[in-house]
Structure 1
Amino acid sequence: MHRYRLLTLLALLLGIAPNVFGDIPRGGRGHSGAAHGNVPASSTVNAPRSDMAHVLIPHLNADPKLSDFLSQPLGSATARRMLRITKFTDRYPEDGQPVTEPTTAYMGYTHEYLYIAFVCRDDHPGLLRAHMLQRDSLSDDDYVEVMLDTFHDERRAFLFKTNALGVEADALYTEQTGADYSFDTVWDTWGRRTPNGYAVMMRIPFASLRFEDVPQGDLRTWGILLQRGITRKNESAWWPQVRHNVAGRLTQEISIDGFANVERGKNRQLEPYGLLHSIRQLNTVNPVNPYFNNKHLQGYTGLDGKFVLHNSLVLDLTFNPDFSQIGIDNPAPPNQRFQYYYPELRPFFIENSSYFATPLSLYYTPNIVMPQFGQRLTGKIGPWAVGLLNIDDRNPGLQVPQGTPDYGSRAHFYVGRVNRDIGAQSNAGVIYAERDYLGSFNRNGGADYRVRVDRRWTLSGQAVTSETEHRDGSWQSGQAYVQSVSYSDLHKSFYFNYNDIAAGYLTETGFFTRPDVREPDGSVNYTFRPKSGPLLSHGPSIYSERIWDHTGLPLDFYFDPSYSFNFKHRTSLSAFLDMGQDQLRPIDYSTLKSNVEYHSHVEGANFYTSPKPQFALGGTAYVGTVINYYPPAGQGPYPVNVDSGHTNVEVKPIQELDLLNTYEFDRFTDPTSGAVAYDSHQLVTRWNLQMNKAWSLNFIGEYLATLPNAEFTDLTNSKDIFGDVLLTYLPHPGTAFYVGYTTDYQNLDSNLCTRGVDGTCNTNFPILPHTGSSFLNDQQVIYMKLNYLLRF
Structure 2
Amino acid sequence: MNIIWRLSALLPVVLLSLFASEAFGQKINAQYQLPIKQSSSPIQVDGVMDEQGWADADVATDFYMILPMDTSFSQVRTDVRMTYDDQNLYILVINFHAVPGPYYVESLRRDFSFGKNDNFLLFMDPFDDQTNGFSFGANAAGAQWDGIMYEGGKVDLSWDNKWVSKVQNYDDKWIWEASIPFKSIRYKKGITEWGINFSRLDLKTTEKSSWAPVPRQFPSASLAYTGSLMWDQAPPEAGANISVIPYAMGGSVNDFENNADPRYQNRVGVDAKIAVSSSLNLDLTVNPDFSQVEVDRQLTNLDRFELFFPERRQFFLENGDLFANFGYENIRPFFSRRIGLDAPIQFGARLSGKINKDWRIGAMNMQTGAVEETGLPSQNFSVVSLQRRVAQRSNIGVIFINKTAFDAASTTEPVQANYSDFNRNLGLEYNLATSNNLWTGKVMMLKSFSPGSQGDGMVHAANLRYSSGSLTAEWRHEYVSPEYTAEVGFVPRVGYYRVNPNLAYLFFPKSKRILRHGPVANTSLYYNMDLNQTDNITRIGYTTRFRTQADLTIFGEYNRILLQAPFDPTNFSGNTLDAFTDHNWYNFGAEYISKPQSLFTYAASTQYGGYYANGNRYNFMGEVGYRFQPYVGLSLSANYNNILLPEPWARTSFWLVGPRADITFTNTIFLTAFVQYNEQINNVNLNTRFQWRFKPASDIFLVFTDNYLPAPFYVKNRSVALKFTYWWTM
TM-score range, shorter chain: 0.7 to 0.9
Aligned equivalent of 1:461: 443
Matched residue SS, 1:397: coil
**CA distance 1:265–1:168, change in 2 (3 Å):** farther
**CA distance 1:398–1:100, change in 2 (3 Å):** farther
In 2, the alpha carbon distance for the partners of 1:676 and 1:543 equals 32
Q: Deviations over 1:719-746 (max 9, x none)?
A: 2122122221113453111122222112
Matched residue SS, 1:682: strand
Q: Deviations over 1:285-323 (max 9, x none)?
A: xxxxx4424134x41111111111122211111122212
Q: Does residue 428 of structure 1 match 2:366?
A: no
Q: Does residue 143 of structure 1 match 2:119?
A: yes
Aligned equivalent of 1:584: 563
- Structure 1 residues 145-160: aligned runs within 5 Å: 145-160=121-136
Deviation at 1:125, TM superposition (A): 4.0
Q: Is the 8 A contact 1:426 1:451 kept in 2?
A: yes
Matched residue SS, 2:464: strand
Q: Deviations over 1:222-267 (max 9, x none)?
A: 1111111123544221111122478982222122222546251552
Q: Does residue 563 of structure 1 match 2:542?
A: yes
Partner of residue 620 from structure 1, selected from 605, 614, 617: 605
Q: Is the 8 A contact 1:667 1:676 kept in 2?
A: no
Q: Is the 8 A contact 2:275 2:281 kept in 1?
A: yes
Q: Is the 8 A contact 1:464 1:480 kept in 2?
A: yes
Q: Deviations over 1:422-453 (max 9, x none)?
A: 11011111111122233622211121001234
Aligned equivalent of 1:353: 320
- Structure 1 residues 116-265: aligned runs within 5 Å: 116-138=91-113, 140-176=116-152, 178-214=154-190, 220-244=192-216, 249-258=222-231, 260=234, 262-264=236-238
**CA distance 1:166–1:474, change in 2 (3 Å):** same
In 1, the alpha carbon distance for the partners of 2:531 and 2:58 equals 64
Matched residue SS, 2:322: helix
Q: Is the 8 A contact 2:47 2:168 kept in 1?
A: no
- Structure 1 residues 62-81: aligned runs within 5 Å: 62-65=41-44, 75-81=50-56
Matched residue SS, 2:371: helix
Aligned equivalent of 2:584: 599
TM-score by length of 1: 0.80
Q: How many residues align?
A: 673
Q: Does residue 731 of structure 1 match 2:703?
A: no
Aligned equivalent of 1:757: none
Q: Does residue 446 of structure 1 match 2:427?
A: yes
Q: Is the 8 A contact 2:42 2:51 kept in 1?
A: no
Matched residue SS, 1:652: strand
Aligned equivalent of 1:783: 721
Matched residue SS, 1:662: strand
Deviation at 1:177, TM superposition (A): 6.7
State the Cα RMSD in Å: 2.6
Q: Deviations over 1:192-228 (max 9, x none)?
A: 22111311112112222222223xxxx7221111111
Q: What amino acid is the match of 1:428?
A: I
Deviation at 1:82, TM superposition (A): 1.2
In 1, the alpha carbon distance for the partners of 2:332 and 2:234 equals 41
TM-score by length of 2: 0.87
Q: Is the 8 A contact 2:241 2:274 kept in 1?
A: yes
Q: Does residue 741 of structure 1 match 2:699?
A: no
Q: What amino acid is the match of 1:202?
A: A
Deviation at 1:354, TM superposition (A): 0.7
Q: Deviations over 1:4-29 (max 9, x none)?
A: xxxxxxxxxxxxxxxxxxxxxxxxxx
Matched residue SS, 2:628: coil
Q: What amino acid is the match of 1:196?
A: D
Deviates most, 320-329 or 598-607 = 320-329
Q: Deviations over 1:41-71 (max 9, x none)?
A: xxxxxxx9823275421221213456785xx
Q: Is the 8 A contact 1:619 1:646 kept in 2?
A: yes
Aligned equivalent of 1:270: 244
Deviation at 1:639, TM superposition (A): 3.7
In 2, the alpha carbon distance for the partners of 1:651 and 1:242 equals 33
Aligned equivalent of 2:663: 689
Q: What amino acid is the match of 1:313?
A: L
Q: Does residue 340 of structure 1 match 2:289?
A: no
Q: What amino acid is the match of 1:729?
A: W
Q: Is the 8 A contact 1:62 1:110 kept in 2?
A: no
**CA distance 1:452–1:786, change in 2 (3 Å):** closer
**CA distance 1:608–1:790, change in 2 (3 Å):** same
**CA distance 1:484–1:381, change in 2 (3 Å):** same
Q: Is the 8 A contact 1:726 1:741 kept in 2?
A: yes
In 1, the alpha carbon distance for the partners of 2:605 and 2:696 equals 36
Matched residue SS, 2:42: coil
Aligned equivalent of 2:14: none
- Structure 1 residues 301-312: aligned runs within 5 Å: 301-312=268-279
Matched residue SS, 1:80: helix
Matched residue SS, 1:372: strand
Q: What amino acid is the match of 2:209?
A: A
Q: What amino acid is the match of 2:399?
A: I
Matched residue SS, 2:594: strand
Deviates most, 512-521 or 430-439 = 430-439
Q: Is the 8 A contact 2:255 2:718 kept in 1?
A: yes
Larger relative contact order, structure 1 or 2 (CA cutoff 8 Å, min sep 6): 2
Partner of residue 417 from structure 1, selected from 378, 385, 391: 385
The structure with more radius of gyration: 1
Deviation at 1:530, TM superposition (A): 2.0
The percent identity for this pair of structures is 23
In 1, the alpha carbon distance for the partners of 2:130 and 2:70 equals 21
In 1, the alpha carbon distance for the partners of 2:304 and 2:675 equals 27
Aligned equivalent of 1:774: 712
Q: Is the 8 A contact 2:425 2:449 kept in 1?
A: yes
Q: Is the 8 A contact 1:560 1:576 kept in 2?
A: yes
Matched residue SS, 1:207: helix
**CA distance 1:183–1:174, change in 2 (3 Å):** same
Matched residue SS, 1:580: strand
In 2, the alpha carbon distance for the partners of 1:336 and 1:594 equals 15
Matched residue SS, 2:288: coil
Q: Is the 8 A contact 1:138 1:167 kept in 2?
A: no
Q: Which runs of 5+ in 1 are unaligned?
A: 1-47, 284-289, 401-405, 628-637, 707-717, 748-772
Q: Is the 8 A contact 1:279 1:780 kept in 2?
A: yes
In 1, the alpha carbon distance for the partners of 2:435 and 2:125 equals 22
In 2, the alpha carbon distance for the partners of 1:451 and 1:611 equals 35
Q: Is the 8 A contact 2:361 2:387 kept in 1?
A: yes
- Structure 1 residues 281-300: aligned runs within 5 Å: 281=255, 290-296=258-264, 298-300=265-267
Deviation at 1:560, TM superposition (A): 0.3
Deviates most, 685-694 or 606-615 = 606-615
Aligned equivalent of 2:516: 537
Q: What amino acid is the match of 1:249?
A: S
Deviation at 1:88, TM superposition (A): 0.2
In 1, the alpha carbon distance for the partners of 2:579 and 2:708 equals 42
Q: Which runs of 5+ in 2 are unaligned?
A: 1-26, 409-419, 569-574
Deviation at 1:788, TM superposition (A): 0.7
Matched residue SS, 1:366: helix
Q: Is the 8 A contact 1:413 1:434 kept in 2?
A: yes
Deviation at 1:172, TM superposition (A): 0.9
Deviation at 1:665, TM superposition (A): 0.8
Q: What amino acid is the match of 1:595?
A: F
Q: What amino acid is the match of 2:713?
A: F
In 1, the alpha carbon distance for the partners of 2:42 and 2:627 equals 36
**CA distance 1:586–1:310, change in 2 (3 Å):** closer
